[in-house]
A = this chain, B = another copy of it.
């Protein structure tokens, strides 16, 4: 039972930001502002019992081939990953390489691709475009990005009441040219 709790605790890591984004997506959906959803975690099902109402009895979590969130906003395709960190810099290793590649591809195809990062130490949340992430990696040859870089190149998402995390306001600002 303790093991289960530990596994669940581990899985819930980052639940704060995720829950706020989910609530905000619900708000945007109800107000017909945007249609953005979290993708389900892919599960590889091995065993299923009971044909009439199937119960999965053996399955494994799979790596997602894309990011957690995508959808439609201001007639544009939007795609992002959301992460929390306890550190004062953001280790890119928190995001799988294939997820970064996916975001770069979205950017190239004309979608709005970004990452939302929350620094738990200062409770500051930033939106940063994937092109700015890639610029940092290529210029600095480092894969850990300090909060100062987010302050300079990212867009802060100010705390809000409803929606809980008004990240689309930050999208408006970060993608001003694309949304003209």
**A: which residues have CB within 8 A of B?**
3-4, 6-8, 29, 32, 34-35, 37, 39-43, 45, 47-51, 53-62, 64-66, 70-79, 102, 105-106, 108-111
> Separation in Å of the A169 CB from the closest CB of chain B?
18
- What would be 18 A-B contacts, judged by CB atoms less than 8 Å apart? A3-B50, A4-B48, A7-B51, A32-B105, A32-B109, A35-B105, A35-B106, A35-B111, A40-B43, A40-B62, A43-B45, A56-B59, A56-B60, A59-B59, A70-B71, A72-B109, A75-B77, A75-B110
A34 engages B109 (CB within 8 Å):
yes
- A-B pairs with lowest CB-CB distance, top 10: A75-B110, A40-B42, A56-B59, A72-B77, A77-B77, A43-B43, A72-B111, A40-B40, A3-B51, A7-B48
> What is the CB-to-nearest-CB distance from A7 to chain B, in angstroms, rounded to a whole number?
5
Complex CA gap A78/B3 in Å reads 42
In the complex, the count of this chain's copies comes to: 2
Residues on B with beta carbons closer than 8 Å to the beta carbon of A29 = 105
Q: Which residues of B contact A37 (CB under 8 A)?
A: 65-66
* A101 CB, min distance to chain B CBs, angstroms: 11
Contact of A109 among B8, B35, B39, B111 (CB under 8 A): B35
Given contacts A53-B60, A75-B110, list 14 more A-B pairs with CB under 8 A.
A3-B49, A3-B51, A7-B48, A32-B105, A34-B109, A43-B43, A54-B60, A55-B60, A56-B56, A59-B59, A73-B109, A75-B76, A75-B77, A75-B109
